[in-house]
Amino acid sequence: MIPLAVVLAALGACGYAFGARLQHAAVRATMDGGGLGLRNQAQLVRSPRWLAGLAALGAGAVLHVCALGLAPLSVVQPVGVLALPITVLLNLREQGYTRRDVKPSMVLAVLAATGGLAVFVLLAAGSATPTPVGDDDQFTASQIVALAVVVLGVVAAATRSKVRCVLFAAGCAVAYGYVSLMARAVAQQVGTWDLLSINLLSVLGIAVAMVVGGWLLQHGYASGPPDLVMACLTVIDPLVAVGLGVGLLGEADHVSGWVATAEVLCALVACAGVFALARHHPDTTERRTSETLEEALPGPDTPTTEVPAGTAGHRTSPRPHGSSS
């Protein structure tokens, strides 16, 4: 069942990538240079592009839940990192980038993210032990995640620029990692065919976390590029889910020290690849170049020295403070 679960999780990652791309474009179009206020959020609900993205995210979530019912949390969740390379490829195609725009560092980042993930999944599939998700585990996880989401959301609201984007996306990722844990609990209860025994609080926790996470996700889209948002989601979401699976459920109790060390190294390689991918994406590179040029060009109020006769066409910039003549 584990190979089927990995395939379903990979298909779910495709749904996440397409959904993220569609919703980010819809959010940016709705903002129209302003912020994401209540009026803009109401317009999103009527946007066909945003609704299509929501449908893609929903399909990805259903596939992911099916995968969670077939394999341990620590095996299924990291497969979601595939959403980032897919998102980058979609952006490259939509924005008309060519092969010349793709630097070797970006290719290496993709290989690191996907290769580290592939080895991690292979190791986890052979060592992780499926464990039931008890009511006490769900209650403890709810407390931890609620505190983390509140802290990240409050700090994000008080910050600006890319830090704001990272914090909003991180809060969404924490909520979604919690959803994976609760979805596995519900999937285990459905697997017993005793539908009356399903804990409705688990379903309520999933619903609340999805709504809160979705709200934080839209603000992440409004504060930064989709690659940065997806990088945070694909790294923090699996880390939260795997951390809950290992810390609360004991899925790694029978894993040897060597295997655990190898899994940690593979996770670090995948994380490094994800952040390098976000850093070396052409969008990020062009934005960084534009900002550098804007800072280098003198502003309208910047004084310039007079151009002596015979040196037309040459402009002399003022010396920095403290320099000698």
Residue 83 confidence class, pLDDT cut points 50, 70, 90: confident
Position 314 scores a pLDDT of: 43
Higher pLDDT among residues 211 and 28, named by residue: 211
Between CA 124 and CA 126 the distance in angstroms is: 5
Contact between 176 and 234 (Cβ < 8 Å): no
- CB of 280 within 8 A of CB of 105? yes
Structural tokens at position 311 = 């040196």
Q: Which of 72-86, 99-113, 144-158, 184-198 comes out lowest in average pLDDT?
A: 184-198
* pLDDT for the residue numbered 294: 57
3 state DSSP class of 127: helix
Quick one: pLDDT at residue 312? 46
**CA gap 302, 233 in Å, rounded:** 43
pLDDT mean over 275-304: 59
Q: What's the pLDDT tens digit per position in 191-209?
A: 555 555 667 788 888 899 9
Q: 213-260: per-residue pLDDT in tens?
A: 988 988 888 887 777 788 788 778 877 877 787 777 777 667 778 888
Asked if 176 and 209 touch (Cβ cutoff 8 Å), the reply is: yes
Average pLDDT over residues 33-55: 80
The phi, psi pair for 255, rounded to 5°, reads -90, 135
Say what percent of the chain tops pLDDT 70: 74
Identify the burial level of 244 via C-beta atoms within 10 angstroms of its C-beta, where 0-12 means exposed, 13-18 middle and 19 or more buried.
buried
**For residue 94, what are its two tokens?**
């939509």
* Segment 117-121 long-range contacts (CB within 8 Å, at least 24 positions apart): 117/78, 117/79, 117/81, 117/82, 117/266, 117/270, 119/262, 119/266, 120/78, 120/263, 120/266, 120/267, 120/270, 121/6, 121/75, 121/78, 121/79
Q: How many residues does the chain have?
A: 325
pLDDT of 149: 94
H helical segments located in the chain: 2-31, 38-45, 48-68, 73-76, 83-94, 104-127, 135-157, 161-191, 200-223, 226-247, 257-280, 282-296
Please give the pLDDT value at position 248: 77
Q: CA 62 to CA 282: how far, in whole Å? A: 32
